[in-house]
Structure 1
Amino acid sequence: MDSIQTSVLAGHSSSNATLFHRIRFLAPDASVIIDFSDGNSVYIVRDIEMDRARSTVRTDRVCCAADFAPTDGLSGDRDTALAQATAECLKQAGETVITVDRSLPYLYAHFIGEAGIAIEYSPELGVANRRSKGEEEIEHLRHAQAVTGEAVTFACRTIAHAKPDRNGLLQHEGSLLTSERLRSMITAFLVERNFSNAHDSMVVTIPSVADCHHFGAGPLKADLPVIVDIFPMDNATRYNGDMTRTVVNGTPSDELVQMHATVCEAKVAGCAALKAGTTGEAVHLATTEVIKARGYSMARGETRHDVTVPTMRHGTGHGIGLEVHEPILLDDGAGEILENEIFTVEPGLYSSTLGGVRVEDMVLATENGHKILSLLHEGLNWRD
């Protein structure tokens, strides 16, 4: 068995989810955790944050950059000084080689390299231990998804209860209901519940829906499908929700009803295939088999296709946790699923003329099967 090497995680814990997962501490400036191969650790943070960090971070020592000043002194630039101190701490400890993850800023690599310390990249550092969720993490995600479901319900009902004018444009409380307006309303709804919507939401209809990650623009209309995709962060825990539903104000076309039925069936198939021990690829294949069996096709990457013809243009889903998109994917080539991993399952079909449909839930992989974390109505009619 390979020996455990000293590892370094560095950056801003508010944006570096791997660092936050390790320290569970938010600081307004960059910080560093060094986990030494002998089991000891050092957390280096700005001096004014040290007392607060000592009560939170699981570490043997909490220090600041001044505790590891090199012989020629620290830079007056705060970030540079922290990188210098990191290199000096490793040098004083006699380290000759360290392991880093995908998120290490080059600033740190530069000074660590200048100190004569070799750097080895590990694709699993900070990834493997985040994939399988603990009981507390599952509850955090369950709560995040429940509030996300409330926001989806609010948005879909707002669309469903809007009044079409003579041109079929939806009016809400006397004013035109646009994608931009409803997205702002969703953000306000989430802020009131202590959730952040930093990535915005998707409220998208014809023709923009042909681009399955378009956020939406312009007026919403009667009898046309609107995809509502909301993926906010719980400010209290920093765990994310992610849910999508499709709503029609009025009467959907027969073609759209068929598309929606196919997507819902594909989601059921994907969920049924999702369990610990299988692969993300197997889940994706189960989903796409339904799509193809119902007469639709896949259009990935640079594949040329008629955007008016309904196709599925993405994988079945992705891991989720402290980030909305986490490894692994439910897609071609994806590897083994672990017990207590949590994924989105989100098949969709998209046409610039018929409209788009996507239905998405957050799903926990168990030893014997799966659990949907927050059940919600899946139909096109949200008036009830």
Structure 2
Amino acid sequence: MQVTLLAGIPYTNQTLYHQIRFLVGDPVAYLGNLPPDGESLLLVRDIELARARQLARADQVGCPQDFAPAEGLSGDREVATAQAVVEVLRQRGVTLVTTDRTLPFLYAAQLQEAGIKLTLDDELGVRARRIKTAEEIEALEQAQKVTGQVMTMACKWIATADVNDAGELMQDGEILTSERVRRRITQFCIDNGFSNVTDSIVASVPHVADCHHHGTGPLKTGLPVVVDIFPRDDSSRYYGDCTRTVVHGTPSDELAKMHRAVVAAKQAACDALQPGMTGDAVHQVTVATLKEHGYKYVPGNAEHDPEVPAMRHGTGHGIGLDVHEPILLSVDGEEILAGEVFTVEPGLYSSTIGGVRVEDMAHVTESGAEILSPLYEGLDWTDV
């Protein structure tokens, strides 16, 4: 019987939270497959016992004081939790424990000192999080729905702005900057029960050539603005993630061509997103589609003229309790499983023409990909 150990703080350790479904800001430890009957045990702070016994997914719930070693427990909560883990294992005669990639070294050191061997299973908890349940799909779809509402608000605010003599966008008599749009996105998300939104991207020329630049300064008419919003639903703790591109006024012919190429690449990638395919294969479909439209993929570590439109990143990534989860739809991406949820987000970027990215969230079913909460994907958001 393989005894497993997950430990840390559920607020920040999403694999641990996914296993126990109990949210707390103090150290906890989860032991699975304990002898003699294979039950699980969750150790929490004593003040959390009643709530954990009601809410947590574990066969038994105890606190470190229940398993104090003969020499007593440390006054430090995390050290005490690690000491109690060792004592539980000692009492059960366990000499070998398997853990995941997130285990704090403190626990490893305590086990080592007690002569208990620790092995790493770097897939422990990962596959369970990759394959989403119906409940998780519903949570992701709801998160994406609200993210789409925020996106519509932001893009329409940009599209309907006034213009000053310098070509800068104006709203309510003030220059419309990346920072102003980002603040409004954050406030809208907070008002709707979403958080972790301060990193939203609102980027235009020239910053958009760096596809993860958050954007800064005045927005201008005729130039594209890439808006990427990835907030967390506080009620479910699942993320939305959506990118759209908006142009105030008339886009250039080259930009319109870039947009057609990106939309086609996104559709081709979604069509290829099926169980048994690999993340690498889906990415190569994206690359091939962009090439058909006259554009290329340039790896992020390769030299490249920032004025020349190119895609510099992978096609997408898994999403769930973290905004970026395994696996990647990118070079060397692994086999795709039914039940996974990915972002699909091809893009093209130029420091002079501007950038285009269009991103959707796709659920992989046995019959192919299903877009969760579809959203308008054009450049003109005036009447959306």
**TM-score bin (small chain):** over 0.9
Cα offset, 1:199, TM superposition: 5.1
Per-residue CA shift, 1:344-374, capped at 9, x if unaligned?
0000001111111000000011111111001
Query: 1:290 & 1:60 partners in 2: Cα distance?
Result: 51
Counterpart in the other structure of 1:358: 357
Residue 55 of structure 1 aligns to a residue whose secondary structure is: helix
Structure 2: which 5+ runs fail to align?
none
Q: Percent identity?
A: 56
Counterpart in the other structure of 1:16: 13
- Which one of the candidate residues 25, 39, 55 is aligned to 2:22? 25
Counterpart in the other structure of 2:78: 79
Structure 1: which 5+ runs fail to align?
none
Cα offset, 1:299, TM superposition: 1.5
Alpha carbons 1:88, 1:115 under 8 Å: kept: no
- Residue type of the partner of 1:93? R
Query: 1:169 & 1:302 partners in 2: Cα distance?
Result: 33
Alpha carbons 1:45, 1:63 under 8 Å: kept: yes
Counterpart in the other structure of 2:250: 251
Counterpart in the other structure of 1:278: 277
Write the mapping of 1:317-328 to structure 2, written as runs, cut at 5 A. Answer: 317-328=316-327
Counterpart in the other structure of 2:66: 67
Counterpart in the other structure of 2:331: 332
- Residue type of the partner of 2:246? V
Alpha carbons 2:262, 2:357 under 8 Å: kept: yes
Per-residue CA shift, 1:176-217, capped at 9, x if unaligned?
111111111101101111111345211011111111011111
Cα offset, 1:26, TM superposition: 0.6
Query: 2:87 & 2:174 partners in 1: Cα distance?
Result: 61
Counterpart in the other structure of 1:135: 134
Cα offset, 1:302, TM superposition: 2.1
Residue 381 of structure 1 aligns to a residue whose secondary structure is: coil
Per-residue CA shift, 1:223-253, capped at 9, x if unaligned?
1000000001110010110000000011111
Residue 36 of structure 1 aligns to a residue whose secondary structure is: strand
Alpha carbons 2:197, 2:230 under 8 Å: kept: no
Counterpart in the other structure of 2:294: 295
Alpha carbons 2:200, 2:228 under 8 Å: kept: yes
Cα offset, 1:301, TM superposition: 3.3
Give the number of equivalent residue pairs. Answer: 381
Query: 1:95 & 1:75 partners in 2: Cα distance?
Result: 22
- Residue type of the partner of 1:333? D
List structure 1 segments (4+ residues) > 3 angstroms apart after TM superposition.
none
Cα offset, 1:130, TM superposition: 1.0
Query: 1:370 & 1:236 partners in 2: Cα distance?
Result: 26
Counterpart in the other structure of 2:372: 373
Alpha carbons 1:308, 1:354 under 8 Å: kept: yes
Alpha carbons 2:348, 2:355 under 8 Å: kept: yes
